[in-house]
Structure 1
């Protein structure tokens, strides 16, 4: 940190209050409890329905609403985020200026054309019509017509309050309609946001039913019989929280909630580092039998600890803590979780201790769960290979972290203040920063001789 870049005395205030994620979590678990109790309720009230838990796909979608509605309500009614200047909205304009239907029409053309192009890309990419992705495509297909219809009153309403009516969607519409005034930088910004939203929304929707079903249908009597079952079920619950709160974040990118995508990561390295960790790219690079395979001849923690219930309980507790930090890092974002985007700055929750709690906990979890240095073949060569390739994956996540920091440092002075504060006060970040400052090469103080 330079002499002129001093850390603030206090940690900068988070753009997302801690309560937002907590009420979303409460709503999600209330629905999970109802879905699990549904057979007993149906029997008690003599409802003419099958006496099964509500662990299906449609119930998972209701779970997304159960998490989203409390978070949106808290954000508006308590935190009053709709009044923030960062929304780009000034509600007093609604009363003082007339609608501009010409601007709205151009914007709607840009928006609808964007959705049509994304739909075409979904159709072209074969992996979206296989396996778990089929559910996501079905949901998006059912949502298409309501979105088109509802977009008309929504855009008409928002345009009345927008300080700058000619946003990125307008610029793309103006290009298509050959209207003067469009800007290629704004169009690039528009497509950065929508590519991120389209790619990750489809992925998150595709895995939501599986995460939800595992918890709703779990047999708790069997779970509590063994320490490893307890640990694995809690880990699955943390995974459900991460997936479902994260999915809400990708869907609810709305200005009145101050949850809109302010910018996508402009760095090519950031996109490469992020997309390499997700399907379809991850299928060809990471994992068993692929280019970066860190699980060759591994059997996992339960195999090596079999027969020692005390060790299983302790190691399972460690894995639960790591997964819990990972889930906490997601729901701390509330409505604003997403990759490759700037949607405000989060400085509370686990972000008080390190700038990248999700990446740290996830990578430590892999080492602790897989134990790549223990192989069933007994080959030290395979153990070394596994450790090397898992270290490569760790390096990819370090790369992701640095590209995300570079993006946010360029966007927001609050993040620059947070970045500097963490370097001095972060429980994990501060000692690592001091260590790096000691070992990094120092610039020479001796002037180079002239040639």
Structure 2
């Protein structure tokens, strides 16, 4: 979620020779920055070698031979960079304590260890099979009717299924062998699934709060991961083409004296949107897709209230249709049609600044990003100034590019339509305000967040609100 959240285990560390206490999440942004750079470098690479058209080749090995696989390869590569940086960071943080041998192996009980790991692997395979079945059956995703929008997600699911069948068991064996952690076991979805299976065969195992949390966390993944996948597939090609234009088409237009102020505004808008949202959804995708004790980013708690879920999900497809009044507002691109190019430049630059704050907020989370969940407190950078910088920045960007268009139309058309559009913007801002409130109510169940909230007094604007 785009707000600070409480640490997974409350671990703190005193810096040598310093009274400052460091939190394990204080440098979570390192993996976020690495992921952002990886997205940009991939886009530049794809443009230079026309990867989207020709496929991806590495050292003579043909990795992909079509556009969709190439885009997904960029997404996976960016996530891999983030995960590698986070593993190295955590290894340096914990030192030798980063690894912990399973007690069964310490006792030499290899058979029981292998059987336990095999059971967990089988449970994961079963759950993944149910996930595949759900998405192939749910009408909203349109698998049976070959709906185009979610085809990238279905293709990715096939890849994940194959990868887990072949690589899942070695991963489970290695993880359980050298990353033994009772708290991580409690947060493991497989543990809850085993309880469900036990009840189905007649064993009355009692469900705990952690099991209900695990169920809600799974729902978060099931809802947001497909969206982030299709969002990235939509945005990344624009970033690739914009990088090509930046280094080829733009210099030619300037050299030939064919470049105008209006074209500058259009370029600034297009490049900003492609850059910001390609990075944003790539980083978010990694957070939703990967939850592992290797990254210390397992879900500690998930939003427990229906109201919290409603105000969050209504901001995303398909629930956005309930915000019809908001969608009566002009589109973001319509600011480009205002009369004066200088006025357009002013509001576009303001939008750019806001969106950069927005994506910086996502970057702060690194591999811990997620809506509706608690996966580790972020208290540095922007989150040391306000508790919800992304919500504030995103709404400010909308008002920068939509409200001037509404005012212009109000003076040159029907003021009643303009008034309705203002109400639509107010509605969306109100929704995000309630998202902030419900998140804080959820996270305030944790002492670390209550302490953070006392340190950072303002929600949206430093020194004001």
TM-score normalised by structure 2 residue count: 0.78
Contact 1:253 1:261 in 2 (8 A): yes
Task: Kindly report which structure 2 residues correspond to 1:18-167, keeping only aligned pairs within 5 A, or say none.
Answer: 18-39=29-50, 56-80=67-91, 83=94, 90-91=100-101, 93=103, 96-97=106-107, 98=109, 99-129=112-142, 130-160=147-177, 161-164=179-182, 165=185, 167=188
The offset of 1:295, in angstroms, is: 1.4
The offset of 1:127, in angstroms, is: 2.8
Partners in 2 of 1:33 and 1:299 — Cα distance?
A: 25
Q: Is there any run of 5+ residues in structure 2 with no aligned partner, and where?
A: 1-18, 252-258
Q: C-alpha deviations, 1:373-413, integer Å up to 9, x for none?
A: 443762222211111121111111111111111222213x3
Partners in 2 of 1:341 and 1:183 — Cα distance?
A: 20
Q: Residue 225 of structure 2 aligns with which residue?
A: 201
Partners in 2 of 1:11 and 1:395 — Cα distance?
A: 36
Q: Residue 405 of structure 1 aligns with which residue?
A: 440
Q: Residue 409 of structure 2 aligns with which residue?
A: 375
The 3 A distance-change label for structure 1 pair 63 and 318 is same
Contact 1:172 1:182 in 2 (8 A): no
Partners in 1 of 2:196 and 2:281 — Cα distance?
A: 36
Contact 2:235 2:278 in 1 (8 A): yes
Task: Kindly report which structure 2 residues correspond to 1:45-444, keeping only aligned pairs within 5 A, or say none.
Answer: 56-80=67-91, 83=94, 90-91=100-101, 93=103, 96-97=106-107, 98=109, 99-129=112-142, 130-160=147-177, 161-164=179-182, 165=185, 167-177=188-198, 178=201, 179=203, 181-183=205-207, 185-218=209-242, 219-220=245-246, 222=249, 225=259, 226-232=263-269, 233-282=271-320, 284-286=321-323, 290=324, 292-295=326-329, 300-304=334-338, 306=339, 308-371=340-403, 372-375=406-409, 378-411=413-446, 413-423=447-457, 428-432=461-465
Contact 2:335 2:402 in 1 (8 A): yes
Q: C-alpha deviations, 1:113-170, integer Å up to 9, x for none?
A: 3223322321232231223211111111232122133222222332333333464422
Contact 2:302 2:372 in 1 (8 A): yes
Partners in 1 of 2:165 and 2:117 — Cα distance?
A: 14
Partners in 1 of 2:115 and 2:266 — Cα distance?
A: 60
DSSP 3-state at the match of 2:311: helix
DSSP 3-state at the match of 1:217: helix
Q: C-alpha deviations, 1:207-238, integer Å up to 9, x for none?
A: 11121100112223555732212321123211
- For these two proteins, the number of residue pairs brought into alignment is 408
Contact 1:84 1:258 in 2 (8 A): no
Q: Is there any run of 5+ residues in structure 1 with no aligned partner, and where?
A: 1-8, 433-451
Partners in 1 of 2:21 and 2:462 — Cα distance?
A: 14
The 3 A distance-change label for structure 1 pair 31 and 153 is same
Contact 1:296 1:386 in 2 (8 A): yes
DSSP 3-state at the match of 1:104: helix
TM-score normalised by structure 1 residue count: 0.80
